[in-house]
Structure 1
Amino acid sequence: MTLKLILRWAGLLAATVAVTIPLNLLGVPSAALFAALVVGIVLALLTLGPAGVPRKLGTAAQGVLGVYIGTMVQQDALAELGGDWPIVIGMAVATLLLSIGAGVLLGLRRDVSPLTGSLALVAGGASGLVAIARELGGDDRVVAVVQYLRVALVTASMPVVVTLVYHADRTQNVREVSQHAAAPWYLSLAMMLGLVLVGGTAARLIRLPGAGLLGPLALTVALEVSGLSFGLSVPVLLVQAGYMLIGWQAGLAFTRASLRSVGRLLPAAIALIVVLGVVTAGLGLVLARVTHLTPLEGYLATSPGGVYAVLATAVETGSNVTFIIAAQVVRILLMLFAAPLLARAVVWAGRRLGRQSRAITDASREPIRVAD
């Protein structure tokens, strides 16, 4: 590695950390990933950044993120759903189909493929989808921008909706959420390493799409549900490093032409995100009616993003936090596991209809291994 390349990586890291700190203070979700995306874009346009993220580092970041998302699953939280499993899964499936439909509509534009549009508007697991978008054959730059636009719009609108539409009472007693003792850092690190290696290898052997992310995620969820996770937690520094690598992977691939193309599709993306938010709010009313939740709890349980804002709002309003967390986890897991499979279906349908998958620029196009 030359001195010039070392300096470029050092500058990229320093600038990303400098942007991440204030974003964290402002409560921006996945701040390190968003900062890495923005900094990567700026340095790429100025030709001051590295050429890209090495493939092995990108795969390692996927594995860390897979384990981290898996630790969101709590055995007692899922048990809270009780006999309401069918309706909760039904709402998650409806959200998935709606978001895929919106993505296909976005893919009608000449500058984005149906596959990329579908991945960009899947309502859940933004960081995970950005991590595997390129592997699935999509344009990870478009997916990154639109996914974080979705998270930002949902998160920013939530306080307004909760106050003006649901008239939330923030003076209610806050329900306690059970906490579990975390394992020592060295045990968590060893378990995480094993989950990444074993999960990723096994997923590749069975040709699971997005193996680097979904293999470790599936194993971690299995441990959590079985109660054998022993308090597994992913060190914060590793999570932040994973976020940065994923953000850089998308950001460093930008060119001036691709940035202009992404800018042109933003009005359509915003309109579709707003429609998706309104329709899922309607699904929340249905969920509330069937499960005897309040309309506010139904809205929070079916929100198509902003899971950290959802949790904070649920706690502040004295809502059924455990049920809402469980419903949100079901949504995120369904989106992450179903999206790669649906990617195959979208590519297959595109071939049958004679439509080719188009990337904004040739730089982001890689072989669609999982679609063959």
Structure 2
Amino acid sequence: MQGVPTLQIALLASSRQLLKWFALAASAAACGQLLHAMGVPAGLFLGPMLAAMGFGIAGSNLRLHRQIFRFGQGCVGLLVAHSVTWTVLSAMVQSWHLMLVATLITVLLSALVGLGTVRFGGIPGSTAAWGTAPGAASAMVMMAEENGADGRVVATMQYVRVVCVVMIGSLVSHLLGATAGASVASGAPAVVQDPQPMATLLSVAVVLAGITLGNRLPAGALLTPLLLGGALQLSGLLTISLPEPLLAAAYGAIGCYIGLRFDRPTVRYVWRRLPTMIAGALALILACAACAYLLAVAMGTDFLSMYLATSPGGLDAMAIIAVETHADVGLVLAMQTLRLFGVILTGAFCARQIIRLTQAR
């Protein structure tokens, strides 16, 4: 008999949790559709992210399973693979030296911003070094914890920058009127309006295979389906077919995963340093935007594509915005991927240099 109240409490708690998930899903879908109807670039991603941030800060204690997040990344990667053509690959090969220069400049700018946050924001050098690194947020957090930095602050700095990058990227895309400028696209992918069931099943199978094979790679859930799907498409073995509801769910999964990371304890822990984090993120975004303008002139490409390509962080988010705005998806993904690997390979060295300089001061 004593077990009955315990069972009732467990059922009640489970019901409350299900109601929270239902409320989050409804809010995310409503916000995403609203922003999408308003013509906001990547609205189907931005809306769920903002809704999830509200739930996280309100103390809902919800956490989206990482495999759902990875499946969303895989769908975005396969969608981007739709733009992989021989023409795009040829253009990327011809501009490899400028892409490498852009990657080096972004890494140096992030190091300077890291030093600035230590000098003017009072953030420890070891934490700032990893928190300002423009790479995959999850990878930077894991590497930071392995090197003795505070993972909570690093995670917050990374995701604050991701939110700033996404919101400013959407604003810039809207102001430049990119949705009307489809002429700048070089094979930008589009949602399949009348998907074939067999082609859709094969596309989903490629996504599942890609996220499984890329389990141990940085951003492997996005990059492996992209590479696998692109190779199959170039060989004529696959016709990529992703219906709009599936893509909307993928965008929402990525947005909710990022938004729910902003829970109340984390925000309370870093509240005093939050203005410094936001200022550092904005400074890095502005510096990268200036670099993007110069590179766009040098490479003869449009500013929006170069801006998205050099934005510091959020590979999947930038891919979504590039697809939605008909930007040069191949350029964006090539430079974002190159910088991702560059940051991972040089992250430990740059962090040690920032720590050494701040300790010397």
1:109-142 deviations in whole A, cap 9, x for unaligned? 32654333223xx6xxxxxx56866666685554
- Alpha carbons of 1:270 and 1:237: their partners in 2 closer, same or farther (altered >3 Å)? same
**Shift of residue 161, structure 1, vs aligned partner:** 7.3
**In the alignment, what sits opposite 1:220?**
229
User: Which residue type is aligned with residue 252 of structure 1?
Assistant: L
- Alpha carbons of 1:58 and 1:349: their partners in 2 closer, same or farther (altered >3 Å)? same
Q: Given the alignment of the two structures, is residue 286 of structure 1 paired with residue 294 of structure 2, yes or no?
A: no
Give the one of 80, 87, 97 matched to 2:104: 97
Structure 2: segments with no counterpart, 5+ residues? 1-10, 118-122, 145-150, 310-317, 357-361
CA contact (8 A) 2:129 2:354 kept: no
- Alpha carbons of 1:59 and 1:266: their partners in 2 closer, same or farther (altered >3 Å)? same
CA contact (8 A) 1:5 1:50 kept: no
**Shift of residue 199, structure 1, vs aligned partner:** 2.1
**In the alignment, what sits opposite 1:343?**
344
CA contact (8 A) 2:74 2:207 kept: yes
Q: Given the alignment of the two structures, is residue 66 of structure 1 paired with residue 67 of structure 2, yes or no?
A: no
Q: TM-score, normalised by structure 2?
A: 0.71
**Shift of residue 148, structure 1, vs aligned partner:** 4.1
Give the one of 110, 113, 117 matched to 1:106: 113
Q: After superposition, where does 1:319-334 map in structure 2 within 5 Å?
A: 325=328, 328-334=329-335
CA distance in 1, matches of 2:237, 2:247: 22
CA distance in 2, matches of 1:275, 1:180: 31
- Alpha carbons of 1:159 and 1:252: their partners in 2 closer, same or farther (altered >3 Å)? closer
CA contact (8 A) 1:141 1:250 kept: no
**Shift of residue 234, structure 1, vs aligned partner:** 2.0
**Shift of residue 200, structure 1, vs aligned partner:** 2.6
**In the alignment, what sits opposite 2:308?**
304
**Shift of residue 215, structure 1, vs aligned partner:** 1.7
Structure 1: segments with no counterpart, 5+ residues? 123-128, 163-169, 289-296, 315-323, 356-372
Say which SS state the counterpart of residue 218 (structure 2) adopts: coil
- Alpha carbons of 1:9 and 1:350: their partners in 2 closer, same or farther (altered >3 Å)? same
Q: Given the alignment of the two structures, is residue 252 of structure 1 paired with residue 267 of structure 2, yes or no?
A: no
**Shift of residue 74, structure 1, vs aligned partner:** 3.5
- Alpha carbons of 1:58 and 1:218: their partners in 2 closer, same or farther (altered >3 Å)? same
1:34-77 deviations in whole A, cap 9, x for unaligned? 22222222112222x34311232223222222222222324455
**In the alignment, what sits opposite 1:318?**
none
- Alpha carbons of 1:186 and 1:267: their partners in 2 closer, same or farther (altered >3 Å)? same
User: Which residue type is aligned with residue 242 of structure 1?
Assistant: A
1:275-305 deviations in whole A, cap 9, x for unaligned? 22122211222223xxxxxxxx453553335
**In the alignment, what sits opposite 1:369?**
none
User: Which residue type is aligned with residue 56 of structure 1?
Assistant: Q
CA distance in 1, matches of 2:182, 2:22: 48
- Alpha carbons of 1:173 and 1:132: their partners in 2 closer, same or farther (altered >3 Å)? closer
1:80-122 deviations in whole A, cap 9, x for unaligned? x3xx842x22332222222222222333332654333223xx6
Q: After superposition, where does 1:1-372 map in structure 2 within 5 Å?
A: 2-47=14-59, 49-78=60-89, 81=91, 85-86=93-94, 88-108=95-115, 109=117, 110=123, 112-119=127-134, 129=136, 139=154, 141-157=156-172, 182=192, 184-204=195-215, 207-230=216-239, 232-254=240-262, 255=264, 256-257=267-268, 260=271, 261-288=273-300, 297-304=301-308, 325=328, 328-336=329-337, 338-340=339-341, 342-350=343-351
> How many residues were matched structurally?
313
1:220-263 deviations in whole A, cap 9, x for unaligned? 22223334332x13222222222222222222222232563444
Question: Percent of aligned positions with the same letter in both sequences?
Answer: 19
CA contact (8 A) 1:32 1:243 kept: yes
CA distance in 2, matches of 1:76, 1:216: 20
1:313-366 deviations in whole A, cap 9, x for unaligned? 88xxxxxxxxx73xx4133233135414522420354358767xxxxxxxxxxx
Cα-Cα RMSD? 3.9
